[in-house]
Amino acid sequence: MIDPFGRHITYLRLSVTDRCDLRCTYCMAEKMTFLPRKDLLTLEELDRLATCFIEKGVKKLRITGGEPLVRKNIIRLFNNLGRHVKSGALEELTLTTNGTQLKHFADDLFKAGVRRINVSIDSLDLDDYKRITRGGNLPDVLEGIQAAIDVGLEVKLNCVALKNDNVEMIEEMMVWAHARNCTMTLIEVMPLGDVGADRLDQYIPLTDIKDKLQKKYTLTAMAKRTGGPSRYMHVKETGGEIGFITPLTQNFCEGCNRVRVTCTGKLYMCLGHGDAADLRQVMRQEQTIGGHDALAQAGALIQNHEMSFDNGLLKAAIDEAITRKPKAHDFKIEKSNQRPALARHMSMTGG
């Protein structure tokens, strides 16, 4: 898959649910209306879609949400997708999680073929964590991180920098992460979805945080790129790495190799644009044409991934969508622009 700007699409982020057991203030509103379950792709459809993308050249697959580990029977999906890691078709199967359920799943994830995970954690202070996540219990996440490290998963920590909530805590988090051999990545808050808060009260440019860290630590830019938007720096004093994802202060689109599929099967070519292709409709149409509809609905396919669809329509729909991938996103947070850049929450498309 090559887009009109010559970028090879090799990375898929697949959201498996819009639901979550937390309500982070920058991600969701306090009262969220979630999608009816019938609108979600079934586990079979998620497997079929991911497999189709892998056949079309995706090498890295990240499962996300919402919170992927609250989706019922999610380990079945990981176990099935693990076959692509075993065959060598997929270089990496990974996930982004808030870590609350990780202690229950770390072992299963490793057995399924996952080797690296991202865990989102925005504070190490019990009360601040509870406030930012609207009710989350920090010890659950810390136990989850330890369980993941113990089974041999490489853990990267994601932290959204929040002007009034965690700026003072970031240095401590970095030192904490590096002491556990974890890379920490800081993320600038993005104006996605109405979260019932003023984005200007949340947003702080990462350049401010980097400047502050540089007063105390020796940060050296690294050539390392993971195909994502993160720019990494080595921290001499801790021996660890810190990543910066700066959608607002520094555009990173020229090297974008990714697309995203929502839990309802909408393919977004860019996180910052509204244009999408409805792959669920194409898949269900193809199922009906193929006569497999009843079986798929009954959930029989995931037990038997030998069952095949032609997938011709699905692949054609993906190809057509890739021709519409835009050159760059267009996020802004400024006084004259208080509305979300996009009505869609991050939990819909997956981070």
Residues 148-167 that bind ligand SAM (CB under 6 A): 158, 160
Residue span binding ligand SAM (CB under 6 A) among the ranges 84-92, 96-104, 218-226, 286-294: 96-104
Residues 168-187 that bind ligand SAM (CB under 6 A): 187
Residues that bind ligand SF4 in the complex, under the rule CB under 6 A? 20, 22-24, 27-28, 65-67, 98, 120, 347
**How long is the chain?**
351
Phi, psi of 231 (to 5 degrees): -105, 125
- Measured CA to CA, the distance from residue 242 to residue 177 in angstroms comes to 10
**Residues 120 and 158 sit within 8 Å (Cβ to Cβ):** yes
Q: How far is the CB of 130 from ligand SF4 (least distance, A)?
A: 13
Q: How far is the CB of 65 from ligand SF4 (least distance, A)?
A: 6
Determine, following the binding rule CB under 6 A, whether residue 333 of this chain makes contact with ligand SAM: no
| Interacting partner of 189 out of ligand SF4, ligand SAM, none (Cβ under 5 to 8 A depending on kind) | ligand SAM
| Interacting partner of 64 out of ligand SAM, ligand SF4, none (Cβ under 5 to 8 A depending on kind) | ligand SAM
| Interacting partner of 23 out of ligand SF4, ligand SAM, none (Cβ under 5 to 8 A depending on kind) | ligand SF4
Please calculate the CA angle 99-105-111 and round it to the nearest 5 degrees.
130
Instruction: Identify which of residues 183 and 311 has a Cβ nearer to ligand SAM in the complex.
Output: 183
Provide the pairing of β-strand 11-15 with 219-221: unpaired
**Residues 15 and 350 sit within 8 Å (Cβ to Cβ):** yes
The token pair at 71 is 């989706």
- Measured CA to CA, the distance from residue 22 to residue 3 in angstroms comes to 36
Q: How far is the CB of 95 from ligand SF4 (least distance, A)?
A: 12
Q: 158 - beta bridge partners? A: 120, 185
Name the CA radius of gyration of the chain, rounded.
Answer: 20
User: What secondary structure letter does DSSP report for 329?
Assistant: -
Determine, following the binding rule CB under 6 A, whether residue 67 of this chain makes contact with ligand SAM: yes
Q: How far is the CB of 162 from ligand SF4 (least distance, A)?
A: 12
CA dihedral 261, 82, 80, 312 (to 10 degrees): 50
Among 44, 54, 65, 266, binds ligand SAM (CB under 6 A): 65
- Per CB under 6 A, residues contacting ligand SAM are 20, 26-27, 64-65, 67, 96-98, 120, 158, 160, 187, 189-190, 192, 346-347, 350-351
